Structure 1
Amino acid sequence: MTAAGPRTVNQGGDALQRVEKTVRKSGSSFFWGMRLLPRERREAIYAVYAYCREVDDIADGDAPDSVKHRQLAEWRAEVERLYAGTPTHPVTRALAAPVRRFGLPKEELLAILDGMERDARGGIVAPTDAALRSYCRQVAGAVGMLAMHIFADGDTRADRATCEELAITLGEGLQLTNILRDLGDDAARGRLYLPEEVLQAAGVTAREPRDILRDPALPAACAMLARTARQRFARSRALMERLDKGTARPCRLMLEIYARILDTLETSGWRHPERRVRVPKWTKLWIVLRHGIL
């Protein structure tokens, strides 16, 4: 997969096949929650994920910032074409039917681009807590909002307020876990998403991302952010009880897999933050059996 802006493609290409291939190649934990959905919803969430993958690859790529911004601007124009009924990229063509069927909001697709543009502006280092929450809303909450339009379709128990709170709360918990898992990868890109207030409270004195990873107070800072992620997961579990089981199932699977990642990180004590932990496949399968099928 290349990190490039959208381009005109052969309209005879199989857009759905492409986005499913993108999801499978990614190895994402989200795949385990998505694959159990009925076909129409599964194809819709695959397309949303593929869109996120395309724009994230731009933000995390090695191109100069000016090129990244141009490519993201092209994607912004492509989203406008999608909602005008004239998409040109396989991913947006795959999104066309879900946009019509599930009423996916354009502003959420654009919010994801806003988050990617923040990353493309250079290294984010020790943002304020408010700035971090804003970023989480863009890159994770927006995905949750799109997903809930798909997951909760037809759920008579799912009121709008519950769905929106779950989307934002669970999205934040997942993103905070990502931040704790990806400390090494982010530091290599000159980024550190641990909030300034947490670093100060833990007594971290280093200022550069790579130096912060070696600061003896880093584990305490990580433990603080992990507690916040746990709080978001606890609230998300309570919100899921208000939904039909079928609506909550993919959310619960993602939550439980990420909670296991958080368990592993906490057990490690963040002694080697440059190492990216992974949940074994057998553990994911057990979670699917426990929360997805039984």
Structure 2
Amino acid sequence: MESGSPSTSTYQRRPEDVVASNGREVEQFALEACVARQKSGILVPPPRVPPAMLDAAYERCDEVTGEYAKTFYLGTKLMTPEKQRAIWAIYVWCRRTDELVDGPNASHITPEALDQWENRLEAIFEGRPADIIDAALCDTLSRFPVDIQPFRDMVDGMRMDLVKPRYRTFDELYEYCYRVAGTVGLMSMPIMGCDENFEGDLTKVYKAALSLGLANQLTNILRDVGEDVQTRNRIYIPLDELAEFGIDESEIVRGGLYSPVTGKVDDRWKAFMKFQIARAREVFAEAEAGVNCLHADARWPVWSALDVYRNILDAIEENGYDNFSQRAYVPKMKKLMMLPTAWQKAQKADTM
């Protein structure tokens, strides 16, 4: 698209143009589009697919979500059946999109391939799914007023991954986090819905959803530092912040901040990680502001997912900030033990 008006300058087709865009403007444009869509109630035409085939597609989405997103999946199991299916369909579309640049065929993916994937997305929103899994998403869009813009922005996040293996500042990283994770919050918000008595500003709730996506992605980045650099040659943590703690990116690349012989983590890295974890926790706190505005049947699932995912930060600390040789996670039993507290927090609605 040509740059110019606000409606066209917020996303571009070439990866280089995507990288050069203003992430916060992109996010604001999508937020406004999503709020307007939810208020309008406009839906996508339903797919012309037999119900039995749709049921099978949703079952496959259930299986994929359960296999690849265990913490996220736990939250969905607390939802109503219709909302479960919708969230699974959205998750699987997001996963398929991510697999384009991180999956087994990632080395063969070109900007043109992402253009084709986006054309396929446009067809879903026109009621013309390309396969049965796309049909599950199309069916979801025919039931909930979900806007296309965050989906477009996520594809642009994949375009960024094609050309940008490093992030100089947090503002640069913020744009990436919005595109690959904040977008999920925008996609999911119409599924969750607001409390029946909610009379406040819908934008507030969407901003909290964006914060939850950002917090989750920051957590992913901190958890996967070693894996990202070793398997993908990507460093997502801001290089200028590394420099503030006296760390050069080459030390991450060559593994110089952790000794596999002694098991010792460099003190500079520990201090850096404490700073990063504190910021992620602040963003989780911002996300909390909108959870109790959600519909009664969505609050417990979202609180559960938020609390469990935030606990990954605790696990990084418990691992001595070693995210080079260890992958922080929350054990299943601990997740289950967190559910009663999440349920208690979900009981009181915030209607303003």
- State TM-score, norm by structure 2: 0.74
**How far is the alpha carbon of 1:115 from its aligned partner?**
0.9
* Equivalent residues, number: 284
Structure-1 residue corresponding to 2:308? 257
Match of 2:136 among 94, 97, 115: 94
Asked if structure 2 preserves the Cα contact closer than 8 Å seen for 1:253 and 1:291, the reply is: yes
Structure-1 residue corresponding to 2:90? 48
Asked if structure 1 preserves the Cα contact closer than 8 Å seen for 2:144 and 2:190, the reply is: yes
State whether structure 2 residue 272 is matched by structure 1 residue 230: no
Asked if structure 2 preserves the Cα contact closer than 8 Å seen for 1:34 and 1:250, the reply is: yes
State whether structure 2 residue 166 is matched by structure 1 residue 125: yes
Match of 2:228 among 159, 179, 186: 186
Structure-1 residue corresponding to 2:253? 210
Distance, in Å, in 1 between the alignment partners of 2:69 and 2:236 is 23
What are the residue-to-residue correspondences of 1:143-154 with 2, within 5 Å?
A: 143-152=184-193
Structure-1 residue corresponding to 2:22? none
Structure 1 unpaired stretches of 5+: 1-10
Asked if structure 1 preserves the Cα contact closer than 8 Å seen for 2:245 and 2:271, the reply is: yes
Deviates more, 1:253-262 or 1:232-241: 232-241
Asked if structure 2 preserves the Cα contact closer than 8 Å seen for 1:59 and 1:68, the reply is: no
User: Which amino acid counterpart does residue 257 of structure 1 have in structure 2?
Assistant: V
Asked if structure 2 preserves the Cα contact closer than 8 Å seen for 1:145 and 1:167, the reply is: yes
Identity of aligned residues (%): 29
Structure 2 unpaired stretches of 5+: 1-48, 259-265, 348-352
Deviates more, 1:201-210 or 1:219-228: 201-210
**How far is the alpha carbon of 1:239 from its aligned partner?**
2.9
**How far is the alpha carbon of 1:276 from its aligned partner?**
1.0
Name which one, 1 or 2, has greater alpha-carbon Rg: 2
What are the residue-to-residue correspondences of 1:98-109 with 2, within 5 Å?
A: 98-109=140-151
Asked if structure 1 preserves the Cα contact closer than 8 Å seen for 2:291 and 2:299, the reply is: yes
Asked if structure 2 preserves the Cα contact closer than 8 Å seen for 1:184 and 1:273, the reply is: yes
Distance, in Å, in 1 between the alignment partners of 2:318 and 2:64 is 32
Structure-2 residue corresponding to 1:7? none
Asked if structure 2 preserves the Cα contact closer than 8 Å seen for 1:114 and 1:138, the reply is: yes
Distance, in Å, in 1 between the alignment partners of 2:123 and 2:278 is 42
Structure-2 residue corresponding to 1:4? none
Deviates more, 1:134-143 or 1:19-28: 19-28
Structure-2 residue corresponding to 1:277? 328
Structure-2 residue corresponding to 1:200? 243
Deviates more, 1:164-173 or 1:55-64: 55-64
Instruction: Give SS of 2:233's match.
Output: coil
User: Which amino acid counterpart does residue 172 of structure 1 have in structure 2?
Assistant: L
Distance, in Å, in 2 between the alignment partners of 1:68 and 1:154 is 43
What are the residue-to-residue correspondences of 1:18-167 with 2, within 5 Å?
A: 18-63=60-105, 65-121=107-163, 124-152=165-193, 155-157=196-198, 159-167=201-209
User: Which amino acid counterpart does residue 285 of structure 2 have in structure 1?
Assistant: A
Distance, in Å, in 2 between the alignment partners of 1:221 and 1:111 is 30
**How far is the alpha carbon of 1:247 from its aligned partner?**
3.4
Distance, in Å, in 1 between the alignment partners of 2:281 and 2:112 is 37
Distance, in Å, in 2 between the alignment partners of 1:94 and 1:105 is 16
**How far is the alpha carbon of 1:25 from its aligned partner?**
1.9
Cα displacement string for residues 103-150 of structure 1 (whole angstroms, at most 9, x for unaligned residues): 11111111111112212335x224311111011111111000111111
Deviates more, 1:15-24 or 1:61-70: 61-70
Asked if structure 2 preserves the Cα contact closer than 8 Å seen for 1:155 and 1:247, the reply is: no
User: Which amino acid counterpart does residue 149 of structure 1 have in structure 2?
Assistant: P
Instruction: Give SS of 1:24's match.
Output: helix
User: Which amino acid counterpart does residue 242 of structure 2 have in structure 1?
Assistant: L
